Amino acid sequence: MTIPALFVAHGSPMLALENNEYTEFLDSLSSKLPVPKAIVVFSAHWDSPDQMMTVDETHETMHDFYGFPEEMYKLRYSAPGSAKLNQRIAELFEAGNLKYQPSVGRGLDHGVWVILQKMYPEANIPVVELSVDSRRSPAEQYAIGSMLSELRKEDILVIGSGGLVHNLRMLSQSEETDEWALSFDEWIAKQLEQWNTKELFLYDKKAPHAVEAVPSYGIEHFIPLFYAMGAADDERKSQRLFQDYQYGNLSLNCWMFGGS
């Protein structure tokens, strides 16, 4: 099996402490995949007009949130970096004429470590974090992801970490999922299953309830989807592995791209 690319929702930082169906799914996900030599993560929590890349030998753990239980701030995920992978990504970006900037000492934000500490709790697989750019068009974001498609043939896992429905101003304590969130996610699912990038790239105009699901102040959480899809442009097939919701409409979903 060629290693797939993944889109993984990171939900609330509290996922790091929670035990629910989604965390159980993440706990078991790695056992269903080939063991990666390294992991590359495009994170919603690193939105930059410049393409950034971590280059640390060992990563610090960023606690880039506030108002959470003290236990959250004690969690650590000290995964190693990889100079070899940094060089390989640099070569691929340069071949795609994409300028990039190395970042020293930033650490891994919670969009990365919250999911990885579930999937690979031993933190012994090298990780490189990459920024996203919400100002770029979906086609450009997809193209950047496609520059890294060769990594999958080298047993490197590419992940886009974000959330398809991620509007913190509309969260509730309801146990029922809002219909608008379901409607948006199902429209996205239909396009993904058909690999219909023409429609997907126009999601803000075509998808029902796009304004609620992807508000102007939260685009960065949706776009890791395009980076992850691009990394599987050579196969163009998708599979939804998990779908659930918290807080009325916060979608917890995982999509697998490629992996033949």
Dump pLDDT digits (tens) for 124-180. 999 999 999 999 999 999 999 999 999 999 999 999 999 999 999 999 998 899 999
- Tell me which residue has tokens 């992850």: 228
Residues in the chain: 260
pLDDT at 1: 72
Contact partners, residue 134, CB within 8 Å, separation at least 6: 47, 219, 220, 223
Residues near 240 by beta carbon (within 8 Å), at least 6 away in sequence: 189, 192, 193, 253, 254, 255, 256
CB neighbours of residue 48 within 10 Å: 15
Helix, strand, coil % over all residues of the chain, rounded to 5: 40, 20, 40
Q: Output the CA–CA distances (angstroms, integers) from residue 125 to 5, 39, 122, 229, in the order listed.
A: 16, 7, 8, 22
pLDDT in tens, 184-223: 999 999 999 999 999 999 999 999 999 999 999 999 999 9
**CA dihedral sign, ordered 108, 111, 116, 122:** positive
Predicted local confidence at residue 6, as pLDDT:
98
- Is the whole model's pTM more than 0.95, yes or no? yes
Strands 156-162 and 238-246: unpaired
- Supply the range of the domain harboring residue 53: 5-257
Q: Residue 221 sits in a domain of what CATH number? A: 3.40.830.10
How many independent structural domains does the chain possess?
1
- Name the one residue in this structure whose structure tokens are 């029922």: 176
Residue 260 has pLDDT above 80, yes or no: no
- Block residue for tokens 């970042």: 103
Q: Residue 151: name the closest of 13, 30, 36 by CA.
A: 36
87-120 confidence digits (pLDDT tens): 999 999 999 999 999 999 999 999 999 999 999 9
Query: Any idea which residue has 């097939």 for tokens?
Result: 237
With cut-offs at 50, 70 and 90, classify the pLDDT of residue 2: confident
